[in-house]
Amino acid sequence: MNSYWSEYWQQGHVNSFADSTSRNYEGELAEQWLTFFTETNVHGGKVIDLATGNGALIDLAVNVGNYRKPEYIGVDYATLNIGDNLNHPNITFLQEQNIESLPFADNEVTAVVSQFGIEYSDLNLTLNEVSRVLRPGGKFRVVVHRKESVIVEPNFQILTVIQRLQEKGSPLEVLKRLVTALNESSKPSQSKEAIRLELNEKVGKLVNEHKQALYDTNFPTLLKTVLNPKVSFSQKNVIFEEFDKELESHGVRLSDLINAARDAEEITLLESKLKCNDFIDICVSDVADKKGLIGTTISATKSK
């Protein structure tokens, strides 16, 4: 897992698919998890949250559901930024820890959960580990991204725009040329007007094809800022450098998201992998809201 995720979580985000610092997952997802945590709270023991991020699921269980009987352990590849709301004696976070090789004894864990996280790993290795650490009768419940979901499809469009902005001759490259030309001379010229027309044409094409996705990259805000004559040229260069860095980071994270998302055939294959790892009572169901498909829930029990 690359360093971009550590940078992302350290900014205080609570989920992996939106530039949001709002508190947590809501609606149908939250309701289903709270129902599950009602059962795990009765049994106590250890609940392991794989690819926990900044602990959104644990926050939901402990601070929304008030389910504080189990010991919660969040595990993630990245360096995190855990909020004070999760400073609790029965909550631990294992950062920079590979979930494909878990630091728990055989049959030690009561339940393993993951929300939009486990699918980023090598599932063959991770499911082997989950089967190893879960005690007989232990519960497994995850929600995974689907390629056709209302989460993944818009982000695919954003990734397309990011890639367009990074290619040679992109609107971003033309904008940098225009800013440089305006700094060299404030007088109107045919060359500057030609660059401006080229920029308008390229931006207009992106707006026509991917308007919302373009706005989600913050490129329109960048354009407005660097064309403001009150902003110094040196400040504009710093702004461009920061935008380039965030564009690269955003693109890598979205590539990870899209590569991790599963289609129907891959979900069926995941069921087969669970059966091969001594799981029974396997249940697969889609989660949706008014906007459409959110993801797929997979639950199972380790055989006794």
Q: For residue 229, is pLDDT > 60?
A: yes
185-221 pLDDT per residue, tens: 878 899 999 999 999 999 999 999 999 999 999 999 9
Helix axis angle for 233-260 and 171-184, nearest 10°, is 170
Distance CA 78, CA 97 (A): 7
Q: How far is CA 60 from CA 25, 45, 288, in A?
A: 8, 18, 19
Instruction: Count the neighbouring beta carbons within 10 Å of the beta carbon of residue 187.
Output: 7
Structure confidence at residue 22 as a pLDDT band (50, 70, 90): very low
Instruction: Determine the residue type at 304.
Output: K
Rg (CA), the chain: 23
233-284 pLDDT per residue, tens: 999 999 999 999 999 999 999 999 999 999 999 999 999 999 999 999 999 9
Q: Which two tokens stand for residue 67?
A: 């389910």
DSSP state of 211: H
Instruction: Determine the residue type at 168.
Output: K
274-288 pLDDT per residue, tens: 999 999 999 999 999
